[in-house]
Amino acid sequence: MKEILLCKYGEIVLKGANRKSFEDMLSREMKKRASAYGNFDIYRAQSTIYIEPKDEDADMDGMFAAASKVFGIVAIARAAVCEKNMDAIAHTAKEYVPQFLEGKKTFKVESKRSDKAFALDSMEISRDIGGVILEACPKIRVDVHNPDVIVKVEIREFGAYISAGQFKGAGGMPVGSNGKGLLLLSGGIDSPVAGWMLAKRGVRLDAIHFESFPYTSERAREKVLELAQIVSEYAGDIFVHVVSLTHIQEELVKACEEDYFTLLLRRYMMTIAEKVAREKGCMALITGESLGQVASQTMQALGVTDAAVNLPVFRPCIGMDKEEIVTIARKIGTFETSIQPYEDCCTVFTPRHPRTRPDLEKVLVQENKLDFNALVEEAMGTLYTVHIKAEY
């Protein structure tokens, strides 16, 4: 029996004249990922990407898992393929579907007849195939309102397809379809989630990480690279640009009032990030900030931070509470790495009473105690890049 994957895409179908370019991106991404799992024939029709193994050595389980992380795909199903006649469909349903109904109490059949030349309509197909399944699985019953399993029969251009259970895809838009952004990637919970959320909207990611050796450890840097590796399973290759803030932080401690440390450091970070972004062709900065979560994320503090740069700053977590962010972190697999107890630069020289409602003019008075531009250029001289290659 021949089995393939049906990967259905969503909002791409609304792109009008530009739809083909989005479909091409999606197909290229799927083919790139498929190369790790064997020989597959990948083609598309009727808002669906078909993934067909060319030989028995193809890893269908691995390919299914890889396809589930491709942004732009909203649903994935394993499906048996047969000829477009009711005898073949009934025989295939009898042989293929029972394995998916083991331990289940109810099912229903939904049919879609994209090929209108087919003799029976959708209701007739569902009725007949439902009867075949009941004969093959006498302990199960039909529930058209809330079934445990939905069996789908689709009459399409290339044949008939029978599936039992459809799985949710990653959704969103193909990576690269909405430009490139620079993610400020710390070792915390929020920033990997923010990067994932923007990648889901089609943004290709570079990342910047700020370290403060020897106040932060080598293990803290490795933790961040592990987070980038996990996000790359969805977003593709990520270049992580690492910059040292050690000297800047030491100079802030010497020259500035303690309660301004965090704000001043954030302005240095944003300025350096903008310089790196422009050098690497990124059109926006991406942060994991959530309004009011910590002192540096009040509305006034964010205004002071944003005043340091001209590029747009995207904050996809801005209206989320911590539990919502944690839920996504668990879903995408970054949470357990994020909670490892290794410090990042923002935990070094933390003020006891940080300013939560800062005035920009007073912040600039503190900032002007140091040669801001010289320190930024010095920090840029420490930059090195780690290429995180996506492992699908």
Backbone angles phi, psi at 297, to 5 degrees: -120, 20
In a domain, 357, yes or no: yes
- Tally of domains in the chain: 2
Q: Which residue has the tokens 């792109």?
A: 15
Distance, in Å, from the CA atom of 101 to the CA atom of 151, rounded to the nearest integer, reads 10
pLDDT for res 356: 80
Burial of 334 (0-12, 13-18, 19+ CB in 10 A): buried
Does residue 173 belong to any structural domain of this protein? no
CATH of the domain at 158: 3.30.2130.30
Check if the beta carbon of residue 239 is closer than 8 Å to that of residue 280: yes
Mean pLDDT score across all residues of the chain: 93
Q: Among residues 168, 200, 232, which one ends one of the domains? A: 168
pLDDT, residue 348, reads 62
CA atoms within 13 A on the CB side of 172: 23
Domain residues for the domain of 238 are 180-388
User: Do both 84 and 208 map to the same domain?
Assistant: no
pLDDT in tens, 119-142: 899 999 999 999 999 999 999 999
Residue 174 lies in a domain: no
Kindly state whether residues 153 and 215 are assigned to the same domain: no
Kindly report the CATH number assigned to the domain that includes residue 291: 3.40.50.620
Say if residue 163 is in the same domain as residue 188.
no
Of 139, 168, 197, which marks where a domain is finished?
168
- Is the separation of the CB atoms in 149 and 166 below 8 Å? no
Residue 161 sits in the same domain as residue 193: no
What distances in angstroms separate CA 151 from CA 79, 88, 270, 272, one per listed residue?
Answer: 10, 16, 52, 54
Report if residue 282 sits inside a domain: yes
Q: Could you give the strand order of the β-sheet that contains 204-211, starting from the edge strand earlier in sequence?
A: 313-314, 284-286, 180-184, 204-211, 238-244, 384-388
Q: What is the pLDDT tens value at each position of the chain, 392 positions in all? A: 889 999 999 888 888 888 999 999 999 999 999 999 999 999 998 889 999 999 989 999 999 999 999 999 999 999 999 999 999 999 999 999 999 999 999 999 999 998 888 989 999 999 999 999 999 999 999 999 999 999 999 998 889 999 998 899 999 999 999 999 999 999 899 999 999 999 999 999 999 999 998 888 889 899 999 999 999 999 999 999 999 999 999 999 999 988 889 899 999 999 999 999 999 999 999 999 999 888 788 999 999 999 999 999 999 999 999 999 999 999 999 999 999 887 766 666 676 777 788 899 999 999 999 999 999 999 999 999 999 999 87
How many angstroms separate the CA atoms of 243 and 210, rounded? 5
116 and 185: one domain?
Answer: no
**Do 158 and 196 fall within a single domain?**
no
Give the span between the Cα atoms of 167 and 338, in whole angstroms.
27
Residue 175 covered by a domain: no
The answer to the question of residue 58 being in a domain is: yes
Q: Does 110 share its domain with 136? A: yes
pLDDT in the model for residue 346: 64
Q: Are residues 117 and 222 in the same domain?
A: no
248 & 141 share domain? no
Task: Kindly state whether residues 144 and 43 are assigned to the same domain.
Answer: yes
End of a domain among 168, 201, 225?
Answer: 168
> How distant, in Å, are the alpha carbons of 61, 143, 225, 354 from that of 162?
18, 19, 42, 61
- Position 347 scores a pLDDT of 64
Are 55 and 115 found together in one domain? yes
pLDDT digit string, tens, across residues 183-195:
999 989 999 999 9
Residues 2, 80 contacting (CB under 8 angstroms): yes
Report the DSSP beta bridge partners of residue 81: 2, 161
Q: Same structural domain for residues 161 and 280?
A: no
